[in-house]
Structure 1
């Protein structure tokens, strides 16, 4: 299976390539990609250099242009697709049907992958994107079990890519409005989920208060690690229950499910983390490259030593086993 790794900066891309990534995904420094944070992403010149560097080390580059164009500003997204092709990208990762149609018409030789932001989670939807818009690979939402992925792969004729490590969205990506509600900035339009500009921490007698857009998300006792304040992993009162109503603040780690995902027909394994440092990227990529090679050789998977890199130092298999509430 292809190992698809994140890069939020040119330094992270170099680290991923040298650590053994088969493919690296990244985006331009503008609103066309869903990780539009200050200090991240690539200029046009940096993207061209990054593609050359990756190709020299045998790695592909996939450019994420996975937000939804604003009405009247489509040219920004059209230009991003054209610039990705000019830079030599191996594929673009798109979510918007109109942008996919534009790419198919004007850049037919550029491979098209369907972003997780499109939330295509059943054979009918996936086959539509493949037949009507020429999609060659679909990134599946993080809401499916391994059995559901197996069933989907029996009914489609395109590659599937799934997340195996990193931040875990517990909603269907592309359809979540929690961050938009709290901050007024949409992850799917502006490319920013729980933007740092709206996060406020304050020390209080009972511990650290973390707020997003004025909403208190967590109160962490002294001496305990504080998770990043995202609404879907917040601690709330609901009826007589007080706790993590949607999901615990934990990261996805599906290392031990790699053999099952291979049997399910998955083509590519994706690591989340374009906001992470090059040191994080290098360590996670090395670990997963070893796991992928062990699975391919029929050897036991190495024991994961990545727990300290997870959110809140806690990991979950998420929806793969449907263990969440």
Structure 2
């Protein structure tokens, strides 16, 4: 299985490659990618250096052009496709049909991966993207059970990529209506759910902290309590007189225990989430997964998750907690 790792900037790209990533995914410094916020992503010179660094070491670079343009600015996304092809990117990751159609017609030799934001969760959806736009891979949303992933591997017309570690999203990927409602901006083109400019932390005399998103109370934490990044879906709410995480707990996806099953199913690539994270995160997570994948490939029968891998991943998880998320649900 290929290990695909995040590269939010040139140091992170180099760190991922040096730590053992088979491929990295990156974005231009504009709204064509879903992590568009200040200090992140690549200008033309940086991405040229990044592609050269990766290719010199036999690795690949995928350009994330995965947002949904409005009709007035579709040409901007077309130019991004042209630039990705001119730079020698190994593939683009796209979701919007107009972007995929343009890439298919204009740069037929540039590989096209269907983004997780395409929300393709069925074989017919994947078949449509394959037949209409010639995709060569699809990234599955983080809402499927392991049984559903296994069935799709058997019926999909293209190789499949799944998220292995990082932040969870229980909504329609990248298009959260909750965050849009509270902040008034789209997570899709403004970089992240709960953009940092809307987040306010408050210290209280009662030895606790609270966090608000655009004035709305999201959660309160005891001084010693771990706190993940505040998003609406991971807040605690008063529901029928009980305060709890009504939608999702602040925790990170970690599928390492499922690695043998994902390999047996035929998953083509494991993806690490986190282009917004720093080089320390990228390096530690990539090294752990590289070692785990290589050890499984060499001796699948005796493979088991090492405690050192668990500790390394937990240290970089939200609230230092991990979960299998929808992968382990009993119903599917």
Specify the TM-score bucket, using the shorter chain as the normaliser. over 0.9
Q: 1:159-170 counterparts in 2 under 5 A? A: 159-170=159-170
- Kindly indicate whether residue 319 of structure 2 is the aligned counterpart of residue 312 of structure 1: yes
Matches of 2:267 and 2:260 in 1, distance apart?
Answer: 10
2:17 partner SS = helix
Matches of 2:189 and 2:223 in 1, distance apart?
Answer: 37
Contact 2:119 2:140 survives alignment (8 Å): yes
Please state how far the C-alpha of 1:239 moved relative to its aligned partner.
Answer: 2.0
The match for 1:29 is: 29
Please state how far the C-alpha of 1:263 moved relative to its aligned partner.
Answer: 1.5
Q: 1:1-325 counterparts in 2 under 5 A? A: 1-206=1-206, 207-297=208-298, 298=300, 299-301=302-304, 302-303=306-307, 304=309, 305=311, 306-322=313-329
Please state how far the C-alpha of 1:175 moved relative to its aligned partner.
Answer: 4.3
Worse overlay, 150-159 or 113-122: 150-159
Relative to structure 1, the CA distance from residue 323 to residue 217 in structure 2 (aligned partners, 3 Å threshold; closer, same or farther) is farther
Matches of 2:216 and 2:260 in 1, distance apart?
Answer: 41
2:210 partner SS = strand
Please state how far the C-alpha of 1:191 moved relative to its aligned partner.
Answer: 3.5
Matches of 2:175 and 2:114 in 1, distance apart?
Answer: 15
Unaligned runs of 5+ in 2: none
Please state how far the C-alpha of 1:174 moved relative to its aligned partner.
Answer: 4.2
Contact 2:35 2:191 survives alignment (8 Å): yes
Contact 1:36 1:190 survives alignment (8 Å): yes
Matches of 1:54 and 1:248 in 2, distance apart?
Answer: 36
Relative to structure 1, the CA distance from residue 50 to residue 204 in structure 2 (aligned partners, 3 Å threshold; closer, same or farther) is same
Unaligned runs of 5+ in 1: none
Please state how far the C-alpha of 1:322 moved relative to its aligned partner.
Answer: 1.8
Matches of 2:52 and 2:197 in 1, distance apart?
Answer: 34
What is the RMSD computed on CA atoms of the aligned residues? 1.3
Contact 1:147 1:264 survives alignment (8 Å): no
1:237 partner SS = strand
2:261 partner SS = helix
